Chain A
Amino acid sequence: MNDVDDVYDVVVVGAGPGGSMAAKTAAELGLKVLMVEKRQEIGAPVRCAEGVSKEELSSLVDVKKAWIAAEVAGAKIYSPSNEVITLSAEQAGNEVGYILERKIFDRWLAKQAAKAGAEVMVKTTAIGIEKKKESLKIKLRRMGEEFDVYASIVIGADGVESRVGKWMGIDTTLRLNEIESCVQYLITNLKYDMDYCHFWLGHNRSPGGYIWMFPKGNSSGNFGIGVMPSMAKKPAKAYLDDFLEKEGVDTTHVVEVVAGGVPVSPMEKASAERCLLVGDAARHADPITGGGIINAMKGGKIAGEVAAEAVKRNDFSAKFLSVYDRRWKEDFGKTLERNKALQKKLLKMSDETMDKLVRCLKDCDLKDMSVGSIVKALIKKNPKLFWDLKDLFL
């Protein structure tokens, strides 16, 4: 017999924004929750450029000054030949507004989960799951010691390196055209307009991705790159170093190096019997921007709610849990699909065409324009060039 101490309604694997949000929601709804995180420190090392939309974040949590590193007014986008357009935060969409201090934010969010009643264990890795008749036996390893806990349902919030899905029968392995390979330096003494996020486009300098600089207060900023491994001819770091040299960025003040991978190809099903996947583990990051914090949080919240409903009904079947897929698709899944289709077109677009696109945008009056109306304006201006995009937006 198990003793009740190690029996939970839900075990959440991973304490990133997705996991903490799921654990918090499930605990608030009265479930007995355990969240395990294999790192010794929640939120570190960071694997993120830390940009989020103000509006979206405020709809999910009470914004605290302690974890806002900077606020930006909008985005500057540089075409392959460095034509610049400036967008306000509303126009630029999801990833600009606040720049977080994720080391503090992730920890704060985990604390919210703990406050709601979830147990939290760090330096604790999930190493396997055994399906039992009436529950799951989840194998954990903490500081070299292995032990088991039991749960009715597991929420896999274990990020890009996810194993939970694989253990539960969902293939989450990414192909080389389904991931952005990223590296980023936190640099101080930067000489850019720090009221804006900066984005540099062009397959030449960042094949299948882009380069960014997100301000983090004073003169420091996250300067990073994402490349698609199927298109890149050298490692991401080599592209970033080349770019910084060409831009004349002084790299004698790099105070942090960050690397990471972001899934940029959504999947159909993020649920299975007794299992829900959230965040990067469910490939919920945006295929165009690579932004995944907000969707991880939204998915985490939905997963927590669905888990509570499943416990109430005592129904952990794949059939019932597919309600999770329906709900995240209704929420942000449609945008993921649309941006995946747009991404496919952008990947094929030459640097010359991208230059023309940015030039056209410069001429358009961009005030209060949605992506849809931007594309409409573009098509009107240059039907031959942009006709291709019409199915996606009109």
Chain B
Amino acid sequence: MPSKEVVVDRFKCAYCGACVSVCKNNANELVETFLVINRELCNCCGLCVKVCPMNALRIEEV
């Protein structure tokens, strides 16, 4: 079964925290100014992808 994950494009990310504010699972966090996504908590709902102003997030098949 193909599984998915959310990935961040570090060159596009502006470390704004908008994606963190919409995640119900507390799966993402700005560690100082570095966005970290915790795969164990993330269910790939895609809300953070929708909210990102910089188009820095995408869901990828792995």
Contacts and interface: CB of A to CB of B under 8 A. Distances in A.
B54 A259 contact: yes
A151 interface: no
A159 interface: yes
B42 interface: no
Interface residues of A, number: 37
Which 6 pairs show the lowest CB-CB distances between chains A and B?
A: A261-B18, A161-B17, A236-B53, A259-B14, A259-B16, A161-B20
A123 B32 contact: yes
Interface of B: 14-18, 20-24, 26, 29-33, 47, 50-55
Contacts of A237: 53-55
A263 B17 CA distance: 12
B17 A160 contact: yes
Interface of A: 38-40, 45, 47, 123, 125, 159-163, 166, 172-176, 179, 181-183, 227, 229-230, 232, 234-238, 257-261, 263
Contacts of A163: 26
Contact of A260 (B29, B32, B47, B53): B53
A264 to B, nearest CB: 12
Contact of B51 (A179, A238, A258): A179
19 contacts: A40-B32, A45-B14, A161-B20, A161-B29, A162-B21, A163-B26, A172-B21, A173-B23, A176-B22, A176-B47, A176-B51, A229-B50, A234-B55, A235-B54, A235-B55, A237-B55, A259-B18, A261-B17, A261-B18
Given A173-B24, A179-B22, 10 more contacts: A160-B17, A160-B20, A179-B21, A181-B52, A183-B54, A229-B51, A235-B55, A237-B53, A237-B55, A260-B16
Contacts, number: 89
B51 A39 contact: no
Most buried by B among A39, A166, A237: A237
A179 B16 CA distance: 13
Most buried by A among B21, B23, B26: B21
A177 to B, nearest CB: 11
A333 to B, nearest CB: 21
Contact of A261 (B29, B31, B51): B51
Contacts of B14: 45, 183, 257-259
Contacts of A160: 17-18, 20-21
A233 B17 CA distance: 20
A234 B22 CA distance: 17
Given A173-B21, A259-B14, A235 B52 contact: yes
B43 to A, nearest CB: 14
Contacts of A166: 26
Contact of A45 (B18, B21, B33, B50): B33
B62 to A, nearest CB: 23
B16 A47 contact: yes
A38 B15 CA distance: 13
A260 B50 CA distance: 13
B50 to A, nearest CB: 5
B21 A176 contact: no
A174 B22 CA distance: 5
A39 B32 CA distance: 5
A237 to B, nearest CB: 6
Contacts of A40: 32
